[in-house]
A and B are shown apart, each in its own frame.
Chain A
Amino acid sequence: MTLCRRLRMQITFITYWSLKMKSFYRLICQLLILSMVWLPYSAQAGMIATDQVLASAANEANRDKVRDFVSRTDVQKQFEALGLTAANAGDRVNAMTQDEINRIAGQIDTLPAGAGSNGWWWAAGVLIIAGIVWYFWK
């Protein structure tokens, strides 16, 4: 009896709680939709920047502001994780265009990073391949 009751209470609580969370998420969603609808209309008077007249102007207008922001902070954080000071990382992110930031966000670990050229490795590689070929032709 008590167990059943407790279970029921728990279920009621979970339902109540999840409903509450649902309404919370719904509120967030509504806010987001509202801001997305609203933002394009909040234009300012003044000069129109040069990049807005480039061929990618249409993309620029539909630009995903949230993604831009996320990739910017992501790149800066990765830079710091890779041994740069916070100030230096900030400077370097600021030196990039948004397109460049989006290009590298999330893959700084795997992108080519030009480094050393002790020709030894190259020579070794060629020797290995030549060796394999020679072994099979012998």
Chain B
Amino acid sequence: MHSFKARLTAGFIFLSALLPGCAFIAPQTYALKEQRPAGLPPRVELTEVPFYPQDDYYCGPSALAMALNAAGVAVTPEQLVEQVYLPGRKGSLQVEMIAAARRNGLIAYELAPMVTDLLRELAAGSPAIVLENYGPFKWYPIWHYSVVVGYDLDRLEVIRRSGKRPRLPTPLPVFEKIWREEDYWAMIAVPPDRVPVTATETRYAAAVVALERSGHLKNALIAYTAMLKRWPGSLAGHMGRGNTAYALHDLDTAETAFKQATLDNPEAAAAFNNLANVLAERGKFGDAVTAAEKAVSLGGPLQAATQATLDEVRQKAAAARVETAPAAVAAPAQAAPPAPAENPKPRKSKPRKKAPATTS
């Protein structure tokens, strides 16, 4: 009885010592409790996110499978094992989780390290993969991925799918404690037509560029178009849209995109350069030379490339003149009439990279 009382007292003291420490252990939760951010529904639960129980060490593949399926990509954890699991580490690296989401044709976006951003993404319908440290000590970490699918501000808890448990409500301070160990790392995987609500232009552009480079051109084109809806006039958006359309041999869209890019960003040499290339390929040599000259006159770090483009476009224009009007060769080369658009050269498509079939 005596020992029970002592234990009770000890427990009470332990807990009361913890409470004021709340601001240190879970500062963001503390701030959230003090002032609730505007525009957040009090509770959200994405019940439609499927659950895949994890086998030993396979929390990476199973967490990823939940997020990908929620975003509309049908894939099982077993299929993802060979994309993210590292046998020697008995786990999965964060970078590979991101790369694997991209490999499956989705935009992988790393959230800013903030509880409110996580909640806002949940309210917008995106479940988030978070990296937690379950280890009892700092020097003995036990890293674990789980999927946050909801929250309840009144009860101050988040709802997670973790390990073998499909629905695990976790008190927010506890969650923040284990989440902050790796700088509040969280990622979401979204379909290309949806821009995350907390996304910033630069970071979203970087995510889409990575998708473009991984070869999912069709999805990247959709994402760039969505990006322009969110940030009209974005240079990266226009350039990406033009470049992906060009790679997909859609010269019409490419020309429109680059032209719009030059209108919205009259200082962008790269936009003029690419516009010149597309115009030349479509046989509009007069406009192409003008655009290329403009690109060179803007200077900048890309000058060498723009100069090379100008030379090439001029050569093409000259060659076209010889082809179309052999009699006019004698005429001075300087008096370059705009190349006849009614006689375009057969389109020379340069397949830089084959577009693999996109998933989704």
Whether A47 lies near B243 (C-beta < 8 A) is yes
Interface residue? B52 (CB, 8 A): no
Cβ contacts under 8 Å, A96 to chain B? 95-96, 99
Q: Number of B residues whose C-beta is below 8 Å from A?
A: 78
CB contacts under 8 Å to B, within A2-18, are none
Residue A1 lies at the interface, judged by CB distance under 8 Å to chain B? no
**Residue ID in chain B nearest A115 by CB atoms:** B91
Q: When the two chains form their complex, are residues B93 and A113 in contact, meaning their CB atoms are under 8 A apart?
A: yes
B-contacting residues, A69-108, CB 8 Å: 79, 81-84, 88, 92, 95-97, 100, 103-104, 108
Sample of 5 A–B contacts (CB below 8 Å)? A46-B277, A50-B209, A103-B95, A112-B133, A117-B163
| B288 vs chain A, min Cβ distance (A) | 12
A97 CB, nearest partner CB in chain B, Å: 5
Contact residues in A for B226 (Cβ distance below 8 Å): none
Is there contact, CB below 8 Å, between A115 and B205? no
Nearest neighbor of B292 in chain A, beta-carbon distance: A45
Task: Please indicate the chain A residues that have their CB under 8 angstroms from the CB of B96 in the complex.
Answer: 92, 95-96
Q: Which residue of chain A has its CB nearest to the CB of B207?
A: A97
Q: With contacts A43-B308, A83-B86, A116-B57 known, is A95 near B14, CB below 8 A?
A: no
Residues of B within 8 Å of A97, CB to CB, are: 99, 210, 213
Inter-chain contact B214/A95, CB cutoff 8 Å? yes
- Whether B309 contacts A46 by the Cβ 8 Å rule is yes
Q: Given A58-B301, A79-B86, A113-B86, are A48 and B209 neighbors across the interface (CB < 8 Å)?
A: no
Determine whether the beta carbon of A114 is less than 8 Å from that of B206.
no
Residues on A lying within 8 angstroms of B by beta carbon are 40-41, 43-55, 57-58, 61, 79, 81-84, 88, 92, 95-97, 100, 103-104, 108-109, 111-119, 121-122, 124-126, 128-130, 133-134, 137-138
Q: A55-B202, A133-B10 are in contact. Are A48 and B307 (CB under 8 A)?
A: no
Q: Which residues of B contact A43 (CB under 8 A)?
A: 304-305, 307-308
Chain B residues, CB < 8 A from A103: 95
CB interface residues, B 204-248, toward A, < 8 Å: 205-206, 209-210, 212-214, 235-236, 239-240, 243-244, 246
Q: Among the interface residues A41, A51, A111, A124, which one has the most CB atoms of the partner chain B within 10 A?
A: A51
* Minimum C-beta distance from A66 to chain B (A): 20
Distance to closest chain B CB from A120 (angstroms): 10
* Known contacts A53-B270, A111-B94, A134-B7; A44 and B308 CB within 8 A of each other: yes
Whether B95 contacts A104 by the Cβ 8 Å rule is yes
A82 to B87, CA, bound (A): 6
CB distance from A98 to the nearest CB of B (A): 9
Known A45-B305, A138-B10; further 12 A-B contacts with Cβ < 8 A: A44-B308, A46-B305, A46-B308, A48-B270, A48-B274, A53-B235, A81-B88, A82-B88, A95-B102, A96-B96, A116-B163, A121-B136
